[in-house]
Structure 1
């Protein structure tokens, strides 16, 4: 994981506005969220089972995450490399298979070393600056 130097930490927005604007910049709400925090993610590079992501964390400071009117505050964006496990699952469960919950395997390396890190730092910081300057969405609420 590589933390980025950006102006995002501490900025606030309504969750619905953030979803709209970040979606226009290719970021989507990541699957690893809770009602009081989450991440917006985008893939910077993908080659087969190897992906490099830009991840923008946030905390809910007012309301619930399933509401567009929830107020969120952004944390420090970072770059992460994720190497998927494309082999057979050693922890195969017939019960999970029967209900369709065994489709995702544990990654080989969820925080792998990032080659060419300077390139990804530059690209990630540039990507963040493009959406963080959007005055319609990020404002001192």
Structure 2
């Protein structure tokens, strides 16, 4: 994991409006959200190692499963997961196992992030800042 400095940290937004800005540039809300916090993720590469830029946020007014929730952005970071190439060993038990556990376990869940991806992540943060830090989109 590599933390990235950003002017977005501690800014607050309506989650729906934030989604409207970030989804068109490739971000998705990560599937591991809870009622009080979550992540916007963008995949930077997905060869044998997946590299993601992750923008964490926490609910400060409402809960994430409620309309109109306000969130505060926390420090963005880069994340890498290295996977085994070839057959997915976790699905060797057939279709039933594949339905229950559809994702391969990473061989290195916190792999080193090469400088190239750190630079890409920093550029991506600049793009997000340009999109969100406008008078039209800023909440605070």
Note whether the superposition's TM-score is higher than 0.5. Answer: yes
Runs of 5+ unmatched residues, structure 1: none
- 1-structure distance, mates of 2:112, 2:98: 35
- 1-structure distance, mates of 2:43, 2:137: 22
**Bigger fraction of residues in helix:** 2
Deviation at 1:5, TM superposition (A): 1.2
2:111 paired residue number: 112
Matched, 1:102 2:68: no
Alignment of structure 1 residues 3-22 onto 2, 5 Å: 3-22=3-22
- CA RMSD between the two structures: 2.3
Deviation at 1:74, TM superposition (A): 0.4
What TM-score does the superposition give when structure 2 sets the normalisation length? 0.84
Deviation at 1:90, TM superposition (A): 8.5
Greater shift, 124-133 or 8-17, is seen at 124-133
Runs of 5+ unmatched residues, structure 2: none
What TM-score does the superposition give when structure 1 sets the normalisation length? 0.83
Deviation at 1:89, TM superposition (A): 2.1
1:125 paired residue number: 122
After superposition, the C-alpha distances for 1:69-94 in whole angstroms (9 at most, x for unaligned) are: 100000111111111345312995x8
- 1-structure distance, mates of 2:67, 2:91: 40
Q: Would the aligned equivalents of 2:56 and 2:76 in 1 still touch at CA under 8 Å?
A: yes
- 2-structure distance, mates of 1:122, 1:99: 36
